[in-house]
Structure 1
Amino acid sequence: MVYDFDTYDPSLYLDDYQRYVRTGRINDHWSALIDNKLAFHEVLGKFASHRSTVHGLLKNGWFHAFDSSETTEIASDGGIKLERPTDSTVSRPTRDPIDWLDETLSDGEQLVLKWFSGGGGNNVHFLERTDGSYLYDGEPLTDNELARTLADLQDYLVCEFVEQDEYAAKLYSDTVNTLRVITMYDERAQEAFIPIAVQRIGTSDSAPVDNFSKGGLSAEVDRETGTLGPGAQYYRRDSVEWHDTHPETGSRIEGTTVPGWDEIRAKLLEIANELSYMPYVGWDIVVTGDGEFKIIEGNSQTGVTALQVHRPLLADERARRFYRRHDVV
């Protein structure tokens, strides 16, 4: 119902057994570092300009602070600057979450709350401050209601809300529309490559996330030009529907180009080469400007339906060789 068996032989598609059972072995022990969102955030420390900020963790009703970007010079010795964070949360790393929010979040700003593990757009919430009050997934809550809600969020990361580039907002403004890019490390060539990339686009069915499995659209990104093809949608339907324009907003999908795709592709491959011991990663990235992006998270056992709705992964000889090398096929 999803894959095009009229055009492609079914054997060219990575099947569910291969995806759920065998691809999980590719990264071996390092899968745990990728799938733990906080651990993967730390792995990306060398590429801090391309990772989103994780402010802290909600656990047992408390907020445990992490990142602080504000520093002040306190001494200099031999030309070496010594700095310390100026954020008050550093001296008080464990806080009441409402107190931290009141001090940190300005009117009109948002945060993303997501469980440290898992995917598919599950266990993701959005918190916004507006007119001095808070909206949780768009619903207004009193401070007491919010405190009880946050107390129930065990091991949830408190992350920055990454503002997407204008091209992505035009596609559908009620969700952050991410790129899912797969990288594979070719040991023979000693370089990473991208077998497929898609632009995910939200709808009223999928909001507040953009996931294909929740009703969002998936448009393949041309790996050379960064140009989008038509958007596929399969949710509560008998077959895949294809859209040149967004079915709700009318915004153009097919023919839209990811701004600065060449730079994005090159930088992502540079990062994948640095992390060659993690040879198989599904990257979720937000394009923030021309050639600029932030990594939201990685996936060691990426879903393939939103990818293979466009074409089978095993039809790409280099990808097939990679999967064969890792005993997936």
Structure 2
Amino acid sequence: MSGLHRRYLLLRSKAAIVVEDMQSNTEISLITRMKCLSKGFLSRSYFLYDLENKNYKYYLSDYERKKTRFINEEDAIILNNKIIFDSMARDRIKTPTIYSIILNGKIYPYYNKVKINNSDELIDQIKKEGKIVLKPYIGADGGEGIYICEYIDGNLLFNGNRVEKVDIDKIINKLNKYIVTEYIEQHEYSSTIFPDSVNTIRIITMEDPNTQEVFMPIAIHRIGTSRTKNVDNWDKGGLSAKVDIDTGILGKATCKPINNKMKWYSNHPDTNAQIEGIEIPSWDIIREKIFLLAQSMPFLKYVGWDVVVTKNSEVSIIEANNCSGVNVLQVHEPLLLDERIEDFYEYYKII
């Protein structure tokens, strides 16, 4: 990427921050809003991070977060395209099997052991497995555009809505650059907290630019709610609980500010299941596998891994992210208080 093109993208990112904030309904004074924007923060971050009482300088701003997409340079395509990522990762760690690709409303088989190249065969696979997933393989973020396809009590359901073959045909005809994948069944510890979504662990890895050693500075557990339904999307009202990197034990969970106020939960607000104090099974194995995976891809300096412990206690990567959201992380602690993180971002001219 040329320097001129990068400057153009950064200028667009600055403008996007301003436009997004001006269109928001955050109740905040104009002076405070402008102060936030001048430092690269959306005004909602003022309440998310309690910036009235805490120092801006310890937090990676919303604008700086957008700059992180340049860290992996051209190799970012590996993380931005789920098909490419799967082809590189599946021999190293479990990933959801990709059955087919959907391009301009047509289904193309991808996996030689399962043939799905039309809606009839798609329906047959849903009935066989009970649940599969349709999702974009490029250009999507935060669970947008995902269809959870189920067969329950003789009924076909797409995202909980009953459908017939004619409805499925209409849906497929509108899809482009999608994949059809297996549905990963999560471990009991996670489904007990909230069963309607696959609740993923976001683990950040960075490569020290001086020693070339991979380190894992922070991890959080995302958890779905009645507001997010079949995904664990933080932006739609999901929860984030900090994971103790050493022990795998969850802390209290929180969501984006409601009426400009933060709420913290020891138990899930919908299921009342315990969150705080729950230990992720096989946490040492998860850490080791992610370290080894990151080390095996030295061209990826900065990755947000979305990890699931399966019902069979396997470690599965749902996807990996080139430009991880940071508010879901920093709601628990400022990233720039960690000198390793600060040095990393300084090296790549993010801060």
Could you say whether these structures have the same fold, taking a TM-score greater than 0.5 normalized by the shorter chain as the test?
yes
Measured after TM superposition, the shift of residue 204 of structure 1 is: 0.4
Measured after TM superposition, the shift of residue 26 of structure 1 is: 0.2
Query: 2 CA distance for matches of 1:39 and 1:65?
Result: 16
1:232-251 equivalent positions in 2, closer than 5 A? 232-234=254-256, 236-251=258-273
Residue aligning to 1:270: 292
Residue aligning to 1:104: 125
Measured after TM superposition, the shift of residue 327 of structure 1 is: 1.1
Measured after TM superposition, the shift of residue 146 of structure 1 is: 1.0
TM-score, length-scaled by structure 1: 0.88
1:78-89 equivalent positions in 2, closer than 5 A? 87=114, 89=115
Residue aligning to 1:83: none
Query: 1 CA distance for matches of 2:144 and 2:190?
Result: 22
1:147 and 1:203, CA in 2 relative to 1: closer, same or farther beyond 3 A?
A: same
Residue aligning to 2:90: 45
Query: Over the residues paired in the alignment, what is the CA RMSD in angstroms?
Result: 1.7
Measured after TM superposition, the shift of residue 124 of structure 1 is: 1.0
Measured after TM superposition, the shift of residue 102 of structure 1 is: 3.8
- Asked if structure 2 preserves the Cα contact closer than 8 Å seen for 1:107 and 1:132, the reply is no
Q: Per residue, is there more strand in 1 or in 2?
A: 1
Three-state SS of the structure 2 residue aligned to 1:154 is: coil
Q: What letter is aligned with 2:276?
A: E
Measured after TM superposition, the shift of residue 290 of structure 1 is: 7.7
Measured after TM superposition, the shift of residue 43 of structure 1 is: 1.9
What do the CA deviations read for 1:261-287 (whole angstroms, capped 9, x no partner)?
011001101100111111101111111
Q: What letter is aligned with 1:38?
A: I
Q: What letter is aligned with 1:121?
A: G
Q: What letter is aligned with 1:253?
A: I
Q: What letter is aligned with 2:345?
A: Y
Residue aligning to 1:130: 152
Measured after TM superposition, the shift of residue 125 of structure 1 is: 1.1
* Structure 1 unmatched runs, 5+: 71-86
What do the CA deviations read for 1:279-326 (whole angstroms, capped 9, x no partner)?
101111111158631111111011111100001111111111111111
Larger CA deviation: 169-178 vs 126-135: 126-135
Residue aligning to 2:206: 184
* Structure 2 unmatched runs, 5+: 1-46
Q: Per residue, is there more helix in 1 or in 2?
A: 2
Residue aligning to 1:9: 55
1:7 and 1:53, CA in 2 relative to 1: closer, same or farther beyond 3 A?
A: farther
1:112 and 1:275, CA in 2 relative to 1: closer, same or farther beyond 3 A?
A: same
Aligned residues: 304
Please say if 1:198 is aligned against 2:220. Answer: yes
Residue aligning to 1:64: 108
Three-state SS of the structure 2 residue aligned to 1:283 is: strand
